[in-house]
Amino acid sequence: METKIYTAQELSAAAAQLRAGELVAFPTETVYGLGADATNTAAVKKVYQAKGRPSDNPLIVHVADVETVTQYAATLTPTVKKLMDQFWPGPLTIILKLKPQALAEVVTGGLSTAAFRNPRQPLTNALIKAAGVPLVGPSANTSGKPSPTTAAHVYHDLHGKIAGILDAGPTEVGVESTVLDMSAKTPTILRPGAVTRADLLPLLGEVLEQQPLVGKTEIPKAPGMKYTHYSPAAAVQIVDDDQQWTPATAWIATQSDPVGVLATEQQINMRKWPKNAHVISLGTDINTASQRLFAGLRQFDLQPEIKHILVTAFPRTGLGDAYMNRLEKAAGQKHFISL
């Protein structure tokens, strides 16, 4: 199958493919999603195939308005309505109890709940409206690889396996949406994102956070959290602070292979890098770093001679919580430790 790149002007052709049960990747403000008609079981099955994703991992249903959610969700409580009012369109995914049999098992992974999200990227909403159906949209990467933040990333992973990609340039946020479970007794963040616990607290009063699952045996609430994620082929290590970059730079110099480095502009300018350091800038702050993290990891993945990647940590406040969550998964918790 040839994978066509659609521009914003060609949106109606992309929507026609979706209506015909084909897969079209679409941009959102977070990462690119792999779109299929959420009401078409055969189309949704193809999504798992294309990604190589385990089929017990449920999908997010992308909608262009709140009305669509009322067709599927058991009830929309006043609190849930307020949530949608305040944070939609935007990077917040809300898990709700479903009406019986409202969505196919391939969408929900057999759960009695589903995840809903109304993205803020205008082109996504235009596509959903033109398709006339809600769209499932897992991140449009091969399962296990970093999520795609450009159409080129999607093409790299999925060309030949999907009908098209709607291209709107690099995504704005760079890390996936916050997943908030509103079907739980107490609202619980299952995956941190750009909408933070601090953003949600004034409205919800109480918000729990699912603790990282590393080393734990219990079954995760968001099934996706149990699978390997964001893993480039090279070994990733976290460099905890500016001071640690000094021994880290010395360590790079002892290596015979090239080493990938993802650091801030300030950290890059502070020191002289060994010749074998391949340095990519994460920009000036947590916003630019979140935008560029996955692209940086993918860039090094294209260079098989790079066996090690060092990446700067950020404080776990605001968007830093989501950034560190993704980075720790990519690094499998490994921190650079100077001996």
Q: Which residues bind Mg ion (CB under 5 A)?
A: 139
- Residue linked to tokens 């933070």: 196
> Whose CA is closest to 189, among 198, 174, 178, 199?
178
By CB under 6 A, how many residues form the interface with ligand TXA? 28
Token pair recorded at residue 155: 């093409």
Rule CB under 6 A: say whether 138 interacts with ligand TXA: yes
User: What string marks each residue from 98 to 137 as x (binds ligand TXA by CB under 6 A) or -?
Assistant: -------------x-xxx-x-------------------x
Tell me how far apart the alpha carbons of residues 40 and 47 are, in angstroms, rounded to a whole number: 11
- Pinpoint the alpha helices (H) of 132-219: 151-158, 197-204
Rule CB under 6 A: say whether 35 interacts with ligand TXA: no
Q: Among 128, 179, 180, 182, which residue interacts with ligand TXA (rule: CB under 6 A)? A: 179
Report what 290 binds from Mg ion, ligand TXA, none; CB cut-off 5-8 Å by kind.
none
Rule CB under 6 A: say whether 30 interacts with ligand TXA: yes
Tell me the residue number closest to ligand TXA, measured at CB: 224
Q: How far is CA 191 from the centre of its chain?
A: 10
Note the residue count of the chain. Answer: 339
Instruction: Give 150's DSSP letter.
Output: S
Enumerate the β-bridge partners of residue 62. 117, 135
**Shortest Å distance, C-beta 202 to ligand TXA:** 23
Rule CB under 6 A: say whether 171 interacts with ligand TXA: no
Rule CB under 6 A: say whether 146 interacts with ligand TXA: no
Report what 195 binds from ligand TXA, Mg ion, none; CB cut-off 5-8 Å by kind.
none
Q: Among 21, 170, 212, 223, which residue interacts with ligand TXA (rule: CB under 6 A)? A: 223
User: What string marks each residue from 250 to 269 as x (binds ligand TXA by CB under 6 A) or -?
Assistant: --------------------
Contact 8, 168 (CB under 8 A): yes
Q: Which residue's CB is nearer to Mg ion, number 52 or number 205? A: 52
Contact 1, 161 (CB under 8 A): yes
Q: How far apart are the first and last CA of the chain?
A: 52
Contact 312, 264 (CB under 8 A): yes
**Shortest Å distance, C-beta 179 to ligand TXA:** 5
| Stretch of residues binding ligand TXA (CB under 6 A), selected from 153-161, 215-223, 267-275, 309-317 | 215-223
> Whose CA is closest to 126, among 35, 21, 20, 23?
35
Residue 256, sorted as left (phi over 0), alpha (psi -120 to 50) or beta, turns out to be alpha
Annotated binding site for L-threonine: which residue ranges?
A: 30, 62, 117, 177
Instruction: Give 111's DSSP letter.
Output: -
Output phi, psi for 280, to 5 deg.
-120, 135
Rule CB under 6 A: say whether 27 interacts with ligand TXA: no
Residues found near ligand TXA in the complex (CB under 6 A) = 28, 30-31, 33, 57-60, 93, 95, 111, 113-115, 117, 137-139, 176-177, 179, 190-191, 221-225
